[in-house]
Amino acid sequence: MRTPLPIILPVDMHQVKGFLADDEAAALYQAALVASKKAPIMEIGSYCGKSTIYLGSACKASGGVLYALDHHRGSEEHQLGEEYHDPDLFDGSAGLVDTFKEFRRNMREAQLEENVIPIVASSGLASRGWSTPLSMVFIDGGHSMEAAMTDYQSWAGHIIQGGTLAIHDLFPNPSEGGQAPITIYRLAIASGLFEEIDVINTLGLLRRL
């Protein structure tokens, strides 16, 4: 059984909104600590910044940089009337979910404003003309098949040889969760460009060949 490594952070992570298990967080941190020494890291789907804090703290420790990409309008399940809707993150004046204010506050409290570069845009839009090689891509954005495929097709090709592709919310059993993340995970392996490193809880780690 895996025991998460202790990670000392300047914020109480139990108070940060998000959906990341402790063992997944520890695995992300360790992967980012190694990868960020080679090139920047890209996170797709920041929400309020829980995973961003782990990835960003690893970048801070190694002197690296994290791009945190999110349109900050919430995924399908965060919308009004849906299962994971949070009224505290709903902008009534605009009639839209808005997680960016919460995200910025969390980055400030985690002392990561000099290591995390927010990109407020859709994944497809941000990828247009992107040319910076990436040492690691963490996909945890929208869980519809269209959104997951866009994330994979837009960003996996920018990962350097030996770099890491991490995908969250892998559920082999459809009764346990949506199938889009595990579909792109299997596509990455089937492409012959990636090999499996490990699966921790619902987090899959792949290496670019």
Q: For the segment 37-51, what is each residue's pLDDT rounded down to a tens digit?
A: 999 999 999 999 999
Does the residue 12 lie in any domain? no
Report which of 106, 101, 126 is spatially closest to residue 116, judged by C-alpha positions. Answer: 106
* Dist. CA 56–CA 46, nearest whole Å: 11
DSSP class of residue 99?
A: -
111 lies in some domain:
yes
Which position has the higher pLDDT, 20 or 177? 20
Percent of the chain with pLDDT over 90: 75
Across the strands, what pairs with 82? none
CATH number at residue 65: 3.40.50.150
Residue pLDDT, tens place only, 81-131: 666 666 666 666 666 678 999 999 999 999 999 999 999 999 999 999 999
Does the annotation count 143 as an active-site position? Answer: yes
* Residue 89 DSSP SS3: helix
Domain-embedded: residue 41:
yes
Q: How many folded domains does the chain comprise?
A: 1
Could you tell me the two tokens for 188? 């990455």
Domain, as residue range, for 185: 20-208
Give the torsion sign (CA, 13, 36, 200, 99). positive
| Active-site residue identified among 71, 72, 78, 143 | 143
| Amino acid 97: pLDDT | 79
Whether the Cβ atoms of residue 171 and residue 201 lie closer than 8 Å to each other: no
Confirm whether 37 is domain-assigned.
yes
Task: Establish if 9 belongs to a structural domain.
Answer: no
How many residues are recorded in the chain? 209
Beta strand extents in the chain (DSSP E only): 41-44, 66-69, 90-91, 96-97, 116-119, 134-139, 159-167, 194-200, 203-208
**187, 179 Cβ separation under 8 angstroms:** no
Amino acid at position 139, single letter: I
Distance CA 2, CA 205 (A): 15
